[in-house]
Amino acid sequence: MSFWNNIRNQISSIASLSEHIDTASAEKLIRSNIYFKGPNVWILVFSIIIASVGLNVNSIPVIIGAMLISPLMGPVFGMGLGLGINDTGLLKSSLKNILIMMGISLVASFAYFLITPLNLSNPTELLARTNPTIYDVLIALFGGFAGIFELARKEKGTVFAGVAIATALMPPLCTAGFGLANGNLVYFIGALYLFAINCIFIILATYIAVKYMKFEQYEYKDAKAGKRAKRLITVFTVIVIVPSIWSAAVMIRENRFSENVAEFVNKNKNLRNGYIYDYKINHRQGSKVEIFITGETLSASEKNNLVESAKEFGIGTEQLIINEHAIVEGTNEAEILKGIYDRSDSEISKRDEEIRKLEEELKKMHESDIPYVQITREAASQYPGIVSLFISRGADVRTEEYTRSDGMLVIATTSAPLTDEEKARFVNWLKIRLDTDNVTLYEIAAENKENTR
């Protein structure tokens, strides 16, 4: 037991936070960073414009630079701290500043996208901020943990910069501004949903960490005010935790559906006379997938086979939409041709493999062919009495044990009987010539053969 106690003590010593954190300093730092006044407002506007430019031109380095400049994280950690220490004043101030932050960000990004002359045909970085996944949840949650632990650490490092990049609060707000400027509600709602998820899970992580590190609880002088504050904190905590659990569960389900769809499409990509060249997943009204097929029209049985295959991957009949001979918005001719060429290459590879197997089988058959005429000529030159030879492959099966031994059956038609010595020599020659140790020789007189006919 002492061994395991030592191990446990060592692990506890390594993971202990007591000597490395300063909760009072962390609380002071968080409180000082929740407000958007003076330079903070202008820095936020500048960083929003920079991020909008980066999103507009699909430049990841520019987006990362903007996230490092932005002061967005302060009020989010302030809300988590307020929940953790039961400080309703801090909670209200943080919420107020988050709303101010959102307003400034939306106005700045809206103004930029309204006047920018740049217009990308495929804004992938913008589109990536409209479809939250379970990975965004995990990044926000563990990014929040890393951020609050960094704030509480006595010796500050560069962790907070990494948290700002990983949790990515700014790009969704810029994307929402893009949606407003272009009248695109899909972009606007999707981006705000991602922003809300990031905020909620950072707040949740901060709340858990504050409780774990035992930050000093806020004390109210008025007992009634303290009770009201606790009730308010409880309500806010439920508001944060319940949606976070619900959204995590929804995203896990959607992520699993997306993975199943990818596997389904990969398995059925090459149809008999068609090709699945693209697919779209829609999670807004229950998870559904629409597959786009080019080539010959599918028969009823082929469609049924696709439906049955989809069921194997957990995709219900009502979740699968088959669209034949359709062009998807954003899918260009080169992508379709590439899909057709891929299918053709796959079919050619399959046929080449079949041809190779048939050639190998044919080669084996040729190798096993017996040169009947040549052997008969050689035998007749050595034994002039041989009139004809019947040569066949066969199997000798013993009835006692039903063991089988493969060999050759040779029937020699002779004008004059062979001597025993000639028979023995002829059999040995046949064994060498036919490459087998099992040769059975029968001799038939030419006259007897004529009579049997």
DSSP 216: P
Percentage of the chain lying above the pLDDT 90 cut? 0
Strand pairing report for 404-414 and 439-445 = parallel
Task: Tell me the whole-structure pTM to 2 decimals.
Answer: 0.58
Look at residue 16 in the predicted model and tell me its pLDDT: 64
For residue 409, the cross-strand partners are: 392, 440
Look at residue 65 in the predicted model and tell me its pLDDT: 81
Residues of the chain with pLDDT under 50: 326-331, 451-453
Structure tokens at 344: 């053709």
pLDDT in tens, 281-298: 887 777 888 888 877 777
Structure tokens at 334: 């080169």
Buried b (16+ CB within 10 A) or exposed e, 352-377: eeeeeeeeeeeeeeeeeeeeeeebbe
Nearest to 294 by CA among 322, 264, 325: 325
Look at residue 380 in the predicted model and tell me its pLDDT: 82
| 8 A C-beta contact, residue 277 and residue 292 | yes
Look at residue 445 in the predicted model and tell me its pLDDT: 82
| 8 A C-beta contact, residue 56 and residue 186 | no
What is the DSSP secondary-structure string of 369-381? Answer: ---HHHHHHHHHH
Look at residue 123 in the predicted model and tell me its pLDDT: 58
Q: How far apart are CA 391 and CA 410, in angstroms?
A: 5
Give the number of other CB atoms < 10 A from CB of residue 316: 12
Q: How far apart are CA 212 and CA 231, in angstroms?
A: 21
| 8 A C-beta contact, residue 423 and residue 441 | yes
Structure tokens at 437: 């140790």
The label of the residue with tokens 């006692």 reads: 400
Structure tokens at 365: 């058959």
The label of the residue with tokens 């407003």 reads: 180
Question: What string of H, E and C letters represents the secondary structure of 389-433?
Answer: EEEEEEEEECCCCCCEEEEEEEEEEECCCCCHHHHHHHHHHHHHH
Domains defined for the chain, CATH in brackets: 2-218 (no CATH), 256-347 (3.30.300), 372-452 (3.30.300)
